[in-house]
Amino acid sequence: MLQRKSCECEMAEIIDHEGSSHLYCNARHRGHRVEALSESSGVYFDKPRLAPRLVEPCHGGCQGSVIGFPAPEQDTQTWLLFTHPTNKRTRKDLGVYLNRSPLHTSGWDRPWIVHSGPSGYSDLAYIEDTEHFACLMECGENSELEQIAFVSFPLSDVMQTVDEKGNTFYEENAMQVILPSTFRFMVQGLSYLAGTRRDQFNDNVIVKCLLQNIVVQTQNTSSMQMCVQYGNNNYS
């Protein structure tokens, strides 16, 4: 499929304004992400293209997460959201990118920064009942492997006015959320696997189950963040 050297592909379905389905692929690559579309439900993909606005950090890039969701406007039925470190040199400053024209590589907006500092792998989920997005991300003060943080936010936060650099921050207003005891074992396992056995860990089922339950219990909160420290039993 992809002639360019790439890995850690993410897929999302795009429904255009005519109701036709397209399978979107976003993959890790040196320098910039690569994208490809399939009109045959994944049997064949077109030639991959570099996404100039989705930069990769040096030394091989980083994993990113993409998700499709119902568009609030009628030009297309699906928009895309993508999370990934935004720094070109190192894994730093995790950003949320919005694409309102997902069939075009130039459709990506400037990133909205959800963590200023070291950051790495992430996983997105869309919570339909609350119309919020949920994200688990590796982050920290000195290394992206210090903790796994959970953040929930509405689309309006991503679409809010950005500063002259294209960045907006809300960490100061984020509320710390303590995990319910029933989910602590899941997060402890997730922390271990993400830090040591990521290559063998299919996180989608566990992560999205975790995100769904956390958001259900905190659905009245517009934006929130919780952190899970590695190597100890303190999960607040």
Question: Is 148 part of a structural domain of the chain?
Answer: yes
Confidence of residue 212 (pLDDT cuts 50, 70, 90): low
Domain range for 134: 60-229
Render 8-53 in DSSP notation, one character per residue.
Answer: EEEEEEEE-TTS-EEEEEEEE-SSEEEEEEESSTTSS----EEEEE
Q: What's the pLDDT band for 213 if we cut at 50, 70, 90?
A: low
How far is 86 from 52, CA to CA, in rounded Å?
12
Query: Measuring CA to CA, which residue among 92, 98, 105, 107 is closest to residue 58?
Result: 92
Q: How confident is the model at residue 48, as a pLDDT?
A: 87
User: Residue 188 domain-assigned?
Assistant: yes
CA angle 45, 23, 17 (to 5 degrees): 120
Of 49-53, 108-112, 138-142, 182-186, give the lowest mean pLDDT range: 182-186
Q: 93 with 63: CB under 8 angstroms?
A: no
Residue 105 confidence (pLDDT): 72
- Do residues 153 and 98 touch, judged by C-beta distance below 8 A? no
Q: How many CA atoms lie within 13 A of 175 on its CB side?
A: 12
User: H/E element holding 175?
Assistant: strand 175-176
Look at the block and give the residue holding tokens 């050297």. Answer: 5
Q: Is residue 73 part of a domain?
A: yes
Would you place residue 12 in the very low, low, confident or very high pLDDT band (cuts 50, 70, 90)?
Answer: very high
- Residue 20 located in a structural domain: no
Q: Give the tokens for residue 43.
A: 């049997």
What count of Cα atoms within 13 Å lies in the side-chain half-sphere of residue 114? Answer: 34
User: Is 50 within a domain?
Assistant: no
- Indicate the number of domains in the chain: 1
Residue 44 within any structural domain of the chain: no
